């Protein structure tokens, strides 16, 4: 029996059918004896064998038809109990029908006796069948919980139907090794009650439960993780050394069962995310529905999310433009599978190639442009300023100029908080791109018919959680390798936002913009990167400095301790959305900006990084290099003779 129960051996269905039939037959016989007061002589002289055989045949047909023998006994539930009651009831009704139609006319039977036998039998047979399943199920869990394998002691967050389903799934799965010792909840009505022989505890007792039961893990459904009380519980778990695991909602379980692969560590992205953002879907839909939409950088973290969200608003066409072949191919397959009804066009191109981008605009004539293509890694651009200028400045200029030429109605540029009082090459090139985009509002080419034909809108926000090459994937990889986790400085902080909410705000800002604005997003409170690393180590079930060490490597070239969202002299104005504000920015002459950019690009052709960076500092006076080999330029006050010496 132990071999069958613990090693997932399935008892043949025919054997279960025979056992059930034996119990039903024995029950009917015993019920007949009880009603006849065990007068065996009279019983055997009567029609006992006919009555019993007939009931055995009828009940066998009914049980086979209702398939009460097909379920795995160790996983029996209330539905199986109801099926047993139903089959016994139907068997009794059919038996009475057969007796009254065919047996009574031939054999003179006391129907009162038969009715009493059926009544007693219904109770006895149902009880025996249910008892069999209960005993097997109990034996399975008893033997399973008393094996030599060490159990992982877990608590389940919540006490609703979803939490109960998780408990049942964990206890019935042969592949998990969890022992559920309780639920935790903040609902006073449920605290100290029992659900399936397990107590519901208040979340304030986490420390006591950890000590009493030596709890290893807390399991939580991975939806609605933005609730403040739940976050406090998760933070408390991390402080206590209790690892937090997540499971998807039950409607996402594979074939209705929780797969062990779906039980995952809580991600730092889940812990940092805020309440869902409410956006004006009607306005966005009106803005995008039936339009031809171009997304540059469509294979990147932000660009790909823009594509997904735009597709949900039923545009006439979405053009996916990127130079990364393999990621773009993956995007193509994904969007064709998820959105088969929306036409998509894949266009491999480098935004620095004007002729190639001209062909894109000429062939597809996009009406709305989301410009997300850019170089973004600060240290790499610090070492390669000419490439940063070509992509972030020249590439943006190409796309924006073509938007004007082909009369796109809207151009939305994705910028960064690193463009604010920039301390590095990357942020400065994005700031120059911002300046050019703003200046187009009043450019002659964009005002041929009494007003701007293309509305140019800039969105500015901080880091996005989990984007390609960002700090979180790097920390995760370092933890998986056993450490150390490298942080540049103990006090460095950053703003974080999830990719979906950042893109939601981009779409919303694009809808409300009239042209020339820079929209900044409410990024919440800045996060200390050291705290981020500590939480990620604890989320992995490890102890900082003991299992995984944190090593400080020093600020990288161009890196700030703190990021900003506004330049000096900029102020903000509110919008109808509480998380979006408009920066009151300094305006620039389009003619002067064009002249400066032409000069910048001319210098860039000479491959002289010092002269190039110096020109960038002239164009963006607030650009002060930090921890960079270009810092000396801030001390010579733009003296052309000194710069000439440096170049030569």
Contacts of 371 (CB under 8 A, 6+ apart): 296, 297, 396, 399, 400, 411, 412, 413, 414
Q: 273: which 2 tokens?
A: 């995310």
Q: 22: which 2 tokens?
A: 């034996």
Closest C-alpha among 473, 462, 524 to residue 274? 524
Closest C-alpha among 230, 208, 227 to residue 219? 230
Active site residue 376: no
b (16+ CB within 10 A) / e for 89-124? ebbbeebeeebeeebeeeeebeeeebebbbebbbeb
Q: Is 516 within 8 Å of 441 (Cβ atoms)?
A: yes
Q: Is 222 within 8 Å of 212 (Cβ atoms)?
A: no
Q: Is 375 within 8 Å of 424 (Cβ atoms)?
A: no
Beta strands in 70-135 (DSSP E): none
- CA–CA–CA angle 310, 312, 315 (5° rounding): 60
Tell me the angle at which helices 111-145 and 13-35 cross, rounded to the nearest 10 degrees.
140
The distance in angstroms from the start CA to the end CA of the chain is: 88
CA distances from 251 to 173, 195, 223, 354, 382 (A): 17, 22, 12, 49, 48
For residue 246, give the H/E element and its range: strand 243-247
For residue 318, the cross-strand partners are 293, 344
Q: 340: which 2 tokens?
A: 């088969």
Q: Which of 267, 376, 418, 579 is catalytic?
A: 418
SS3 (DSSP) at 424: coil
SS3 (DSSP) at 66: helix
**Strand-pair category, 178-185 with 152-157:** parallel
Active site residues per annotation: 418
């Amino acid at each position: 029996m132990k071999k069958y129960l613990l090693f997932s051996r399935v008892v043949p269905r025919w054997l279960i059918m025979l056992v059930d039939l034996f119990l039903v037959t024995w029950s009917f016989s015993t019920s007949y004896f009880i009603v006849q007061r065990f007068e065996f002589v009279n019983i055997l002289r009567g029609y006992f064998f006919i009555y019993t055989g007939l009931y055995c045949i009828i009940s066998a047909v009914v049980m086979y038809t209702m398939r009460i023998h097909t379920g795995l006994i160790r996983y029996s539930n209330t539905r199986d109990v109801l099926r047993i009651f139903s089959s016994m009831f139907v068997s009794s009704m059919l038996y009475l029908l057969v007796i009254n139609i065919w047996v009574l006319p031939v054999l003179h039977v006391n129907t009162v006796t038969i009715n009493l036998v059926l009544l007693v039998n219904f109770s006895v047979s149902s009880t025996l069948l249910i008892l069999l399943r209960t005993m097997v199920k109990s034996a399975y869990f008893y033997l399973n919980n008393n094996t030599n394998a060490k159990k992982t002691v877990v608590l389940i967050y919540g006490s609703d139907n979803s939490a109960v389903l998780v408990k049942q799934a964990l206890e019935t799965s042969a592949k998990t090794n969890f022992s559920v010792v309780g639920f935790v909840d903040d609902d006073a009505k449920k605290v100290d009650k029992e659900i399936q022989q397990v107590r519901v505890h208040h979340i304030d007792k986490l420390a006591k439960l950890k000590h009493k039961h030596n709890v290893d893990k807390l399991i939580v459904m991975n939806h609605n993780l933005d609730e403040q009380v739940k976050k406090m519980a998760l933070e408390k778990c991390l402080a206590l050394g209790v690892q937090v695991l997540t499971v998807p909602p039950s409607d996402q379980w594979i074939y209705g069962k929780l797969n062990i692969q779906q039980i995952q560590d809580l991600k730092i992205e889940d812990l940092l995310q805020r309440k869902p953002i409410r956006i004006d879907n009607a306005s966005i839909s009106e803005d995008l529905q039936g339009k031809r939409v171009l997304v540059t950088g469509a294979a990147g973290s932000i660009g790909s999310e823009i594509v997904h969200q735009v597709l949900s608003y039923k545009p006439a066409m979405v053009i996916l433009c990127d130079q990364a072949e393999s990621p773009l191919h993956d995007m193509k397959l994904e969007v064709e599978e998820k959105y088969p009804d929306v036409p998509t066009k894949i266009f491999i191109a480098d935004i620095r190639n004007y002729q190639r981008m001209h062909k894109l605009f000429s062939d597809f004539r996009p009406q709305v442009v989301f410009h997300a293509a850019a170089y973004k890694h600060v240290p790499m651009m610090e070492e390669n300023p000419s490439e940063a200028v070509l992509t972030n400045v020249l590439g943006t200029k190409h796309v924006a100029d073509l938007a004007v030429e082909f009369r796109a109605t809207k151009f939305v540029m994705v910028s960064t908080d690193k463009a604010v009082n920039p301390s590095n090459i990357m942020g400065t090139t994005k700031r120059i791109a911002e300046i050019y985009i703003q200046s187009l509002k009043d450019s002659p080419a964009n005002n041929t018919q009494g007003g701007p034909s293309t509305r140019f809108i800039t969105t500015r926000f901080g880091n996005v959680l989990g984007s390609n090459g960002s700090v979180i994937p790097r920390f995760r990889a370092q933890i998986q390798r056993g450490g150390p986790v490298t942080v540049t400085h103990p006090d460095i902080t950053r703003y974080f936002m999830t990719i979906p909410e950042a893109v939601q705000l981009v779409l919303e800002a694009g809808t409300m913009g009239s042209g020339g604005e820079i929209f900044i997003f409410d990024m919440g409170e800045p996060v200390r990167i050291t705290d981020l690393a500590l939480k990620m180590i604890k989320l992995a079930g490890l102890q900082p400095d003991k299992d995984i060490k944190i090593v400080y490597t020093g600020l990288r070239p161009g890196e700030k301790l703190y990021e900003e969202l506004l330049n000096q002299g900029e102020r903000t104005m509110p919008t109808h959305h509480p998380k979006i504000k408009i920066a009151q920015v300094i305006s620039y002459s389009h003619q002067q900006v064009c002249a400066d950019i032409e000069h910048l690009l001319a210098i860039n052709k000479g491959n002289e990084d010092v002269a190039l960076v110096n020109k960038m500092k002239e164009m963006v006076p607030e650009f002060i290099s930090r921890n960079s080999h270009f810092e000396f330029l801030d001390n010579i006050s733009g003296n052309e003779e000194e710069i000439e010496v440096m170049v030569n």
